Chains A and B, each alone.
Chain A
Amino acid sequence: MKVDMKLGLKDVPGSLLWALEPISLHGGNIVSVLHSRNGKDPVSVQIGFRVKDQKSLDLIKKDMKKHTIHLTEILVEGRKYYSKKTLSIIFIGHIIDKDVLETIDRINEAGLVSSIDVLMPSPEEKSSVMLNIDVDNGNIKRLNKTILGICKEKQFLLIRSL
């Protein structure tokens, strides 16, 4: 995948090399380096590179953090990138009766339901549903608000992850 990374570097010798090291270490293939030196410190640098998968990108980000490099923006295939997280939750209530598709659609506005596991003891009794939801780090607050709203409205008991 194609990655564009914007970062701020201290204007001292060797800092660019220090910033590029994690990329090559984790198999990144550097395509371009744009260095806008306009007397400011930190200097703004844009690096374009190709990397095998998200795991390698996460490792690069982790090492850059270790190198105390300040990342200002990451674009993957031209789109703003956030690290993803998977949240697991359980709903207890009349989940199917209370329009389960609408529930999922609403959650999908803030994240993405990637799996759903349902246990229904009998049609009259409450069912228990476990959902895995992928969410961008930047969207977690919105997702939580959506989930709490659904629970209040449809009278579900929510069991969140720690």
Chain B
Amino acid sequence: MKTKEINLVIIGFGVIGKGFAEVLADKHDFLRANYGVDLKVTAICERDGSVVCKKGIDLDNVVELSLNNNLKAHENWTTLKSLDVINKIRSDIVLELTPSNIETGQPGLTHIKESLKRGMCVVTSNKAPLAVEFSQLQKLAKNSGAELRYEATVGGALPLINLRKHALQVNNINSVQGILNGTCNYVLTKMADEYVSMDVALKEAQNLGIAEADPSYDINGIDTGAKVVILANSLLGMDVSFKDVAVTGISDVTTEAIELARKHNHVIKLIGDVERLDVSPRLVPINHPLNVSGTLNAVTISTDIARDITVIGPGAGGKETSSSLFSDIIDIIRSK
């Protein structure tokens, strides 16, 4: 098989960036043998500078340096900022993996726009830019001829958008609903299994690194709301943004409510209801496929032909989420 060289730029080298780099180091030869691609990372951008190496960056080395908070010690460290790299270094695909800011979509929004304007494809795990300016970004991608792919923005490792694209082509999708936030699901599961208060469950989630120090984004349903926007636009063909979603989080759910639900053979889950553009805690029958525990995510896609398809799996994690990033990357390469 003829090998195609593909240059990647990574913007944002946190949990997802490092997870991706580790998997690429591990799977590089597998990808070459099975898909005929030689994936090379030519730049990695962090907030205050970048590692740039046209020959390709040694991924094991860069991950180790970053884990030790010492990326600046890399022999190819420069003070080039992410936008300088987008402007100066030509790559085939830009991986936008910076933090999500749902109010502004920044810095990801600018990274994505500037990359597309220069004809570079973008693969992202950052939901904010898409939740804020979905249709504008789609238009920009269309006009520039470069692809914008975002499987990793919703449900981490779960194939949803690509499942629709590659395996549910003939179907009309009637509704989509599910558990889209692992932190909330962990907290609610813990409250139900061990009859502890939300505060105790949340503290444990923080100690385990499942919840952020400030978990309000997850607990208040904002993260799920942003994902609902992306699924509404991509799977149900709507044209909506975050302000169109009614969001109620789980912070007021009591242990008593969870106990009542259990007594009547139900559990309480934070459900993103894409068709209704609603995020709220809901009663789910105990034997329902959406009753998944711990940090798992689960999404049911209801269609006219295949009927209900439920996808369950890890909704977060660096390596796990990279599975979705690779799915998009391979798709782009195949379509080139």
A interface residues with partner B (beta carbon < 8 Å) = 88-90, 92, 117, 119-121, 126-130, 157-162
Contact = CB atoms under 8 A, between A and B. Distances in A.
Given A162-B177, A162-B282, A90 B248 contact: no
Interface string B257-294: 10111011010100100000000111111001010000
* Interface size class of chain B, counting residues whose CB lies under 8 Å from the partner chain: 20 to 34
A92 B256 CA distance: 9
Contacts of A130: 257, 260-261, 263-264
B285 A162 contact: yes
B252 interface: yes
B257 A161 contact: no
A67 B252 CA distance: 48
A23 B259 CA distance: 43
Contact of A92 (B252, B280, B282): B252
Contacts of A129: 260
26 contacts: A88-B264, A88-B283, A90-B260, A90-B261, A90-B268, A92-B252, A117-B260, A117-B264, A119-B260, A121-B254, A126-B254, A128-B254, A128-B260, A130-B260, A130-B263, A157-B281, A159-B257, A159-B268, A159-B280, A159-B281, A160-B282, A161-B283, A162-B282, A162-B285, A162-B288, A162-B290
Contact of B252 (A88, A89, A157): A157
Nearest to B288: A162
Interface of B: 177, 248, 252-254, 256-257, 259-261, 263-264, 266, 268, 271, 280-285, 288, 290
A160 B284 CA distance: 9
A161 B256 contact: no
Given A88-B283, A157-B248, A160-B282, 7 more contacts: A119-B257, A119-B259, A121-B254, A121-B256, A128-B256, A128-B259, A129-B260
B283 A90 contact: yes
Contacts of B282: 159-162
A120 B202 CA distance: 23
Contacts of A127: 256
